[in-house]
Structure 1
Amino acid sequence: MLELQHIKKTYHVGTVETKALDDVSVAFREKEFVAILGPSGSGKTTCLNIIGGLDRYDSGDLIIKGKKTKDFKDSDWDAYRNNSVGFVFQSYNLITHLSVVANVELGMTLSGVSKAEKHKRALDVLEQVGLKDHLHKRPNQLSGGQMQRVAIARALANDPEILLCDEPTGALDTVTSVQIMDLIKKLSGERLVIMVTHNPQLAEEYADRIIRFQDGKIVSDSHPHQERPKPDSFKLRKTSMNFLTALNLSFNNIKTKKGRTFLTSFASSIGIIGIAVILSLSSGFRTTIDDFQRDAMAQFPVLITQNTAEMDLEQMRKEMGQRQNLDDDGYADSQEVYLKDPSSTIKQHTNVFSEEYLNYLSQIDPSVCSSVGLTRIVNMNLLRETEEGAVPVTFSSSSGGSESGGNAMMSGMESMGISSFPRQLQEEDSYLEQNYELLAGEYPDSPEDMVLVVGKDNTLDQTILKNLGFPIDGRESVKFADIVGTEFRIVSNDDYYVKTEYGFLPGEDYQAMYDSDRGITVRISGIVRISRDAGVGVLSAGVAYSDELTQKVIELQESSEIVKAQRDSDRNVMTQEELDADGKKQFLAYLGGDSTPYMIMMYPNSFESKDEVIAYLDAWNMGKDDGDMVVYTDMVETISNMTGSIMDGITVVLIAFAAISLVVSMIMICIIIYTSVLERTKEIGILRALGARKRDITHVFDAETFLLGLFSGVLGVVIAWLFTFPINVIIENMTGLAGVAHLQLLHAVLLVAVSTVLTMLGGHIPARIASKKDAVEALRSE
């Protein structure tokens, strides 16, 4: 076995010189003859000088092209083997999963030869050895002589200075041996050929110089050589293998083991399948929830009320920290009852709805906020003309008909709280038209037009119609036509209330009130219900009207006598009860003496534009003191965060369990690649003999793990995607939710990347082991 790198394991070392070549060194194990074949006519000048005859020599005794080998780096040996030496092995040492032409091109690939030039050279040398018609066959499709010709072509492809032949005819029959030796003899006319053989007849017939060994020692040398100093002329191209070449080698190897590769990839993909299915369900449920929220809460408003309350978390932590006898779960260990003031941990905040702030809200971009709703606390002195004359009615759903005084105020506040539909900011369909379908009549066309809101199944609390003056005794339903067009009269406070010595009281001459020209006539213009695609409606069942109507009522009432009297008194001018500041303000608003909204509702144009509405509201508070800020409530965000946190928690837990299989897969890949290293040991030796660096060997096996990881990831994602179809059928049959399992493209790409990276990490250790294998020992393996 000829070798150049592992000199310490050899028996005899020598230096060869010819007129055509500089100094080279070669080491060989025990062979009976070393035959030297030089260029034609140079036999007398070709010689081998033995610089030692003992059993072992240090590699520092070698000089190659004037450079001592003790100064060699690994890259120098790799470059020397690739550039200067061509190996022809007794057992051919071809890579079985590569074609003939690919085997020949391999050495040139390491030299950095271009693709076109590499292929041209390969064709030339294959034609030179008579194999032009067998370019794309695999080595196992060739005869022994043809495989040896491929080995010779591979050795010649890089145009080496020396051709080293180790028993080139040892595995061939006599006729084929003669053909191969004739070819080698022909090649010796252009380059130095060193052949090691046990056959003295071949040496005598073909060699220009013969060195005979016996028991590991030189017996004779036909042309001894006297050594002379030589200048250092060691300049070689460094070898390298790019990752694409490594991929090609590994891909061709994998193709020869399709069944095992598929099973390995499938086993490795189990973890990816689990995580992909979990992400499909998680993202699918999240999408379903988000779609529901968009449908159900797209028009759900951001609420701004005059008075808000929020928990003072800092104060709560402070109070908890003052008690030192609490365990980790917050339980007290004492014989005392601790007193606390709940109000100390609740911060009350009063929002000031100034004209400046209301103008600021009205200037919001209509493309992000479709409408604004204003709820004002104002009572409507409502009358209806019947066959018996004018009678008082109310929009309230409370039993007992009309109310007076404080009870009437509370009923009015209840009905007003969610009965005012918002004002549209853009010139388009109104809020009602966008979210409520018309069952009868028409949508409001003026501030005096109102609508009756019924449930999805057209139901309505009978008390509402009764309080509106409709006869319902013994009836199960009321025709739309009997309701649409019904008119009511909102009476002025000066007509409705009578001043007495005890205060103001509602009058009893309802017909005179109804006939007064100071009132406002309103009518029910249509009947509506929530649309099928609108989700949750914000209007309560019953009569709904616009804020414009409320403002007209306030204009009617704000200069009335009862309002003036209430402004000047700290008592309720109807009941004579003492009122605090807040109570007085509320009752004055109820009488129509205060136009300040009680609640403001900002309706985002879409679910996505809600964040822009929030940003607009936050911009008002920037730089202001806490007391001057306007605090809002975003219920949609609270609900979204709650559902999102739950889904995230479930997803993390499930992925953590599925990730265990990924770790198992990585360990399995490590074992598989180590097995591949053992199987491809000879290939490692061949690549090293051709000049491949250690890192190139690592690249080859890293490339194999890359392909396995990539294929495993793609296979896992595809299988998980296929699983989503039966999963969706099962979920739809069980819950009615359609298309829940949905694997997103981004998740699929990330999972393929994770599979590839983890597989490469698992296979890198055996890849490093492969790169450290001894080339000579690797070539001996079977």
Structure 2
Amino acid sequence: MQRVAIARAIANDPDILLCDKPTGALDTETSVQIMELIKKLSKDRLIIMVTHNPELAEKYATRIVNFQDGKIQHDSKPFKPEDEKDTFNLKRTKMSYWNAIKLSFTNIMTKKGRTILTAFASSIGIISIAVVLSISNGFQKQINTTMSKALAKYPITISQTATDMTSMSERDDSDKNVKNHGYVTAKKDPSEEAQHTNKITEKYVDYINKINPNYANNVSYQRAVNLNLLSKGYGKVERVQFLSADPDQNASMSAMRSQAMSSMGIGSSVFPTALNKKKGSFLKQNYQLLYGHWPSKTTDLVLVTDNKNTVNINSLKNLGFDVDNKERIKFSKLIGKEFSIVDNNDYYQELPTGMFIPKKANSAMYNGGSKLKLTGVIRPKNEDSMALLSTGIAYSDKLSQDVINDNKNSAIVKAQKKTNRNVLTGQSMKASEKKMIMQTLGGSSIPTGIMIYPNNFDDKDKVLDYLDKWNKGKKKADKIVYTDMSSAVTTMTGGLLGGITTILVAFAAISLITSMIMIGILTYTSVLERTKEIGVLKALGARKKDITRVFDAETFILGVFSGVLGVFIAYLLTFPINSVIYKITDLANVAQLDPKAALILIIISTVLTLIGGHIPARMAAKKDAAIALRSE
């Protein structure tokens, strides 16, 4: 029976086995067998056995406790309890951001339909702003591209007389009405006051020549010196009559004036000089070679035509060609034409009165001069471009410098330096007029104008910064004022486009405010629906900030989703918008959504959604747990 009882007891594999007098009513041999069995079982579990046989206890037990009358008499291995200083720190419960997001995401997924509709409604404002910015960004790129192409037409111009735009833009207090004091005040016209005389010196010219070629590789200098050019045609030698260029005009205006007055003479231009020849030349970049070769020597000239290969008939006659109206001249007849450039001493004759007059042009004068040759015929590359070089002949600035060096010590120049009367007309002159006459005769190497051609539209600002460095620390009278036509056009168009964009974005932003209010209402509805859940969370130890965090996480997810949805829909709308714009204006791919703007719009959507849902979230955090649990 003892064996059966033991088998029944260990059937459930207990950790502790209680044995009440297992050897009772057994003989000695059987008792030993039972004890051996119990000993084997004690290897895997604790066995507590009650017995009245001390001999068996001494033989098999590892610990013996003697009881009498319910009291412990002896313990072979007494237990000595020791006081342990256990410290238990009660940790405050908290919910992580990740748990809040997961809980909110789970709640959102249970209401997919409402979530999608809410996100779409919230994204309407984002869609509107994104579409406006896309169109604005596209048009701005179109403007920049157009300005970049037109950069060659509008170089940075430095002339002897410039208009200080900052002075014209300053507000004059005299515009206000004043009391009648019994007098009138003499006042210059604002445009006249804005006129600034640039003091261009050799030092400044050297400064210009040190411009980084990576920013502006082509620089053109306008000099008022007469070339004293002779041509041989019709069997006789004649002077080449040039148009008098105004040094205070910019390149495009000078070219237009030259073309308009070409019936009176031939237009002449100085093509820009490359600071770094490895980076290419202005002529090759902006003009097409029709025949001949590009100028490679100082004595090489090129004939400039318009986009239709036409040159004014009087200009050709001035160069010594016998032509009729609308007659077509082969390029081969033009190329190789020679001219003679004569020094002042051989060109002018001094009278006994001290006056000077031009000598009669003849073969001796022609043969005694330096020879120039027409080597090429060129025209602007783009059909819609405004030519910087006037139709006629174009030459290098080195030729002008050589003429000045040859004539600076001529008799007429020396005579003009000594008197304030014009040695050609006998009229008295002002100091400014004398300066101009000296430049015309070759007595001054200072250019009357400088034109700088930035390599591209982005490098223009770096060139302007370089020019501004010269003016730092200088008095107003010593500053050099430049004219940047491309910047003026860009500022005007960019300002107009920016104003329109601002107005449209402001109207579209109204829908963002509406979306924010709608999110607040929907979040409050969600709070009412989840009141019991709020009570459960608080009962589990959630803090006020944890409850707030749950609803803020929900609005955060909704804000990101609506922002991404709005940007995506706006991107899809750019395709039909571009199609409509192309049909109306022939401008392709105008609407372009800037990735930076898209990211900013997503952030704005998220922030506004968080703001709209934060107040209901705070209301949810203040709910009492017991009241929330009792709510239905």
CA contact (8 A) 1:377 1:416 kept: no
Shift in alpha-carbon separation, 1:316–1:577, aligned structure 2, 3 A? farther
Q: Output one character per residue of 1:546-566: Cα deviation in whole Å (capped at 9) or x when no partner.
A: 100111222232233222222
- Residues 1:762 and 2:600 are matched in the alignment: no
2:233 alignment partner, one of 386, 400, 421: 386
1:497 alignment partner, one of 334, 348, 359: 348
| C-alpha deviation, 1:274, in angstroms | 0.4
1:680 alignment partner, one of 499, 506, 530: 530
Shift in alpha-carbon separation, 1:335–1:647, aligned structure 2, 3 A? farther
CA contact (8 A) 1:369 1:609 kept: yes
Give the distance between the partners of 1:318 and 1:693, measured in 2 at CA: 64
1:486 alignment partner, one of 337, 351, 356: 337
1:244 alignment partner, one of 90, 98, 104: 98
2:603 alignment partner, one of 749, 753, 771: 753
CA contact (8 A) 2:268 2:391 kept: no
1:319 alignment partner, one of 174, 177, 180: 174
CA contact (8 A) 2:138 2:589 kept: yes
Q: Secondary structure at the match of 1:452?
A: strand
What amino acid does structure 1 have at the position aligned with 2:199?
A: V
Q: Secondary structure at the match of 1:432?
A: helix
Shift in alpha-carbon separation, 1:533–1:745, aligned structure 2, 3 A? farther
| C-alpha deviation, 1:364, in angstroms | 2.5
Where does 1:533-548 land on structure 2 (aligned, <5 Å)? Answer: 537-548=387-398
CA contact (8 A) 1:299 1:606 kept: no
TM-score (norm 2): 0.77
2:281 alignment partner, one of 423, 430, 454: 430
Give the distance between the partners of 1:297 and 1:734, measured in 2 at CA: 27
Match of 1:263 in 2: 117
Where does 1:74-473 land on structure 2 (aligned, <5 Å)? Answer: 236-297=90-151, 300-310=154-164, 312=167, 317-321=172-176, 323-324=177-178, 340-342=187-189, 346-396=193-243, 419-428=269-278, 429-473=280-324
What amino acid does structure 1 have at the position aligned with 2:311?
A: L
Shift in alpha-carbon separation, 1:418–1:601, aligned structure 2, 3 A? farther
Shift in alpha-carbon separation, 1:253–1:457, aligned structure 2, 3 A? farther
Match of 2:408 in 1: 558
Shift in alpha-carbon separation, 1:690–1:355, aligned structure 2, 3 A? same
| C-alpha deviation, 1:600, in angstroms | 1.4
Match of 2:11 in 1: none
Shift in alpha-carbon separation, 1:744–1:356, aligned structure 2, 3 A? same
Give the distance between the partners of 1:742 and 1:457, measured in 2 at CA: 37
- Residues 1:733 and 2:583 are matched in the alignment: yes
Match of 1:632 in 2: 482
Q: Output one character per residue of 1:70-95: Cα deviation in whole Å (capped at 9) or x when no partner.
A: xxxxxxxxxxxxxxxxxxxxxxxxxx
1:511 alignment partner, one of 360, 363, 367: 363
Between the aligned residues of both structures, percent identity stands at 49
Match of 1:212 in 2: none
Q: Output one character per residue of 1:441-474: Cα deviation in whole Å (capped at 9) or x when no partner.
A: 1110111112122222333333322332333323
Give the distance between the partners of 2:603 and 2:351, measured in 1 at CA: 86
CA contact (8 A) 1:498 1:505 kept: yes
Give the distance between the partners of 2:136 and 2:383, measured in 1 at CA: 25
Shift in alpha-carbon separation, 1:619–1:337, aligned structure 2, 3 A? closer
CA contact (8 A) 2:292 2:377 kept: yes
CA contact (8 A) 1:375 1:416 kept: no
Shift in alpha-carbon separation, 1:418–1:764, aligned structure 2, 3 A? farther
Q: Secondary structure at the match of 2:296?
A: coil
CA contact (8 A) 1:297 1:536 kept: no
Q: Which runs of 5+ in 2 are unaligned?
A: 1-86, 246-257
TM-score (norm 1): 0.63
Shift in alpha-carbon separation, 1:337–1:720, aligned structure 2, 3 A? farther
Match of 2:19 in 1: none
| C-alpha deviation, 1:621, in angstroms | 2.5
Choose 276-285 or 309-318, whichever is displaced more: 309-318
Q: CA RMSD in A?
A: 2.9
| C-alpha deviation, 1:774, in angstroms | 2.8
| C-alpha deviation, 1:277, in angstroms | 0.6
| C-alpha deviation, 1:345, in angstroms | 6.2
| C-alpha deviation, 1:536, in angstroms | 5.3
Q: Secondary structure at the match of 2:121?
A: helix
Q: Output one character per residue of 1:582-620: Cα deviation in whole Å (capped at 9) or x when no partner.
A: 111111211222221101122223322222222222222
Point out which structure has higher relative CO (alpha carbons under 8 A, 6+ apart).
Answer: 2
Match of 2:514 in 1: 664
| C-alpha deviation, 1:684, in angstroms | 1.6
Q: Output one character per residue of 1:286-310: Cα deviation in whole Å (capped at 9) or x when no partner.
A: 1111121122116743222223343
Q: Output one character per residue of 1:751-778: Cα deviation in whole Å (capped at 9) or x when no partner.
A: 0000000011111111112222232333
Give the distance between the partners of 2:155 and 2:326, measured in 1 at CA: 37
Shift in alpha-carbon separation, 1:568–1:335, aligned structure 2, 3 A? closer
Give the distance between the partners of 1:579 and 1:336, measured in 2 at CA: 36
Shift in alpha-carbon separation, 1:774–1:645, aligned structure 2, 3 A? same
CA contact (8 A) 1:316 1:345 kept: no
Match of 2:561 in 1: 711
CA contact (8 A) 1:247 1:703 kept: yes
CA contact (8 A) 1:551 1:595 kept: yes
Match of 1:144 in 2: none
